């Protein structure tokens, strides 16, 4: 499995880091050994909402090369969803088997057309921004509709990572990751369509 973490200026760092910290553990489990990942962006570095600068692995790669594309949220999504160059690049992921977002990353999935005819979620304060892109906004933490998984606000990135580990490597692996990261919470608010 090959994962693309799509980054951009104005992302919320915890959206990325919460999911990344969990999902990079896929290599610990037999069904997902050999998983690779790359940070990808339109430029060679991005700056999060608070000014933290991140260097990326690949600039504007062909996103169709990946098996999973992950998009975090952040205030940068508000303008970026209207950026034709960025949205055009994101559309390369149309054939990617699994498209995943947390927080307002779902607005970018929507702008690329990946939420058409689907149910999805986002940060609770951005439900109204998601409405034009979906058939229904589901006010839950994680929504899986076909090959698209969207998740709620910032801290949900950890739940989302655990959920995706469970999908790809099995529930025993997900339970193991929860122990590794000392995550005592039971997952709630998951909708699968």
Asked if residue 150 lies in contact with residue 193, where contact means CB atoms within 8 angstroms, the answer is no
The candidate with the shortest Cα–Cα distance to 86, out of 116, 45, 42, is 42
In tens, the pLDDT along 1-41 reads 999 999 999 999 999 999 999 999 999 999 999 999 999 99
Q: Report, in angstroms and rounded to the nearest whole number, the Rg of the chain calculated over CA atoms.
A: 15
Whole-model pTM? 0.96
Question: Can you give the pLDDT at residue 193?
Answer: 85
In tens, the pLDDT along 45-84 reads 999 999 999 999 999 999 999 999 999 999 999 999 999 9
What residues are labeled active site?
103
Asked if residue 41 lies in contact with residue 11, where contact means CB atoms within 8 angstroms, the answer is no
Other beta carbons within 10 Å of 97: 11
Q: Between 185 and 148, whose confidence is greater?
A: 148
Q: Which two tokens stand for residue 40?
A: 């990808």
Say whether pLDDT at 105 is over 90: yes
Q: What share of the chain is helix, strand, coil (3-state, %, to 5)?
A: 40, 20, 35
Mean pLDDT of the chain: 97
Say whether pLDDT at 159 is over 90: yes
Distance of alpha carbon 20 from alpha carbon 37, whole angstroms: 9
Question: Can you give the pLDDT at residue 50?
Answer: 96
């Amino acid at each position: 499995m090959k994962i693309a973490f799509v980054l951009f200026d104005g992302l919320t760092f915890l959206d990325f880091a919460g999911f990344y910290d969990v999902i990079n553990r896929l290599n610990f489990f037999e069904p997902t050994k050999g998983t690779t990942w790359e940070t990808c962006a339109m430029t060679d570095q991005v700056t999060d909402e608070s000014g933290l600068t991140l260097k990326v692995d690949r600039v504007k790669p062909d996103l169709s090369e990946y098996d999973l594309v992950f998009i975090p949220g952040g205030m940068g999504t508000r303008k970026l969803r209207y950026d034709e160059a960025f949205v055009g690049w994101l559309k390369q992921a149309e054939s990617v088997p699994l498209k995943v977002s947390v927080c307002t990353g779902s607005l970018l999935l929507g702008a690329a057309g990946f939420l058409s005819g689907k149910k999805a979620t986002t940060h609770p304060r951005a439900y109204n921004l998601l409405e034009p892109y979906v058939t229904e906004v589901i006010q839950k933490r994680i929504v899986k509709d076909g090959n698209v998984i969207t998740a709620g606000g910032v801290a949900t990135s950890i739940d989302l990572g655990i959920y995706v580990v469970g999908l790809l490597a099995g529930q025993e692996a997900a339970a193991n990751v929860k122990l590794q990261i000392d995550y005592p919470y039971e997952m709630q608010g998951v909708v699968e369509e």
